[in-house]
Amino acid sequence: MLEIEAHMRGKRLETKQYLSVQGDELYLLVRAPEDLLEDLAEQFDFELECRPRALRAFGNKLSERFPHHGAHSFNIPNSFDLSVEGTNASGLYEPYEHMWMPFKRDPRFRGLYYRHSRTLGRLLDEREVEDGEGDTFFTACNRIKLIQALLEKPVDDGGCGVDEHKLLKHDWSIFPLHTRHERDTLQREWLGANSGWVGSFQPLDRSSGAAFPMKDYIGERVAL
């Protein structure tokens, strides 16, 4: 355990040991600071969802941003424009919605990604979310995925080497912990008196109008 913990600290993971209430099990809490998450996301080409309005503005200024790369500005009609032209646009996503791209720390691209609030003392409204409010690029699910990827990566390849074989050999297990304030916020939005839940509505993702959607906390697979 000490060797593994040393590897974790060497990779800038923050750790803390404590005993179970019965005193028969040792727990090791692991978390990652924001700068490490950004490094890992760029290293693993981790894809994040982009902000539609920011992505549209970026596309409209391609020729200005990359003058020597043959990039030209472009525009995609929205559903209203399509409806005016006689095309049935009902059920279509708006342009640039649900578009993802690998995370880059390059300042030119940082403004394209959604940002989230780690503290969530209150819900962010739709405009705040779209305007990039929040103090992190990573949802709770993102953080778990990135930390797990670093833990499982071989030591010789710059990781911590906590693979399935090592877990079985030492009778170890890895599991995520709830983030209380995020869990409480999701419960309040989903089941609160003012949530508007009427059986068919569930805050699965932002298309439902949810400021803090379920998929950001428990992941896309479980939400689906």
Task: Tell me the pLDDT tens digit for each residue of 61-97.
Answer: 877 777 777 666 666 666 666 666 666 666 667 778 8
Euclidean distance between CA atoms 110 and 96, whole angstroms: 16
**What does the mean pLDDT of the chain come to?**
80
Q: What is the pLDDT of residue 142?
A: 92
Q: What is the pLDDT of residue 91?
A: 63
Euclidean distance between CA atoms 121 and 147, whole angstroms: 25
Q: What is the pLDDT of residue 53?
A: 85
Tell me which of 44 and 205 has the higher pLDDT: 44
**Contact in structure between 79 and 92 (CB atoms under 8 Å):** yes
Q: What is the pLDDT of residue 35?
A: 94
Model's pTM, two decimal places? 0.78
The predicted-structure confidence for 171-192, as pLDDT tens digits, reads as follows 888 888 888 877 887 777 777 6
Beta bridge partners of 30: 15
Tell me which of 169 and 71 has the higher pLDDT: 169
- Give me the percent of the chain exceeding a pLDDT of 70: 73
Task: Judge whether residue 2 has pLDDT over 90.
Answer: no
pLDDT band of 144, cuts 50, 70, 90: very high
Task: Judge whether residue 199 has pLDDT over 70.
Answer: no
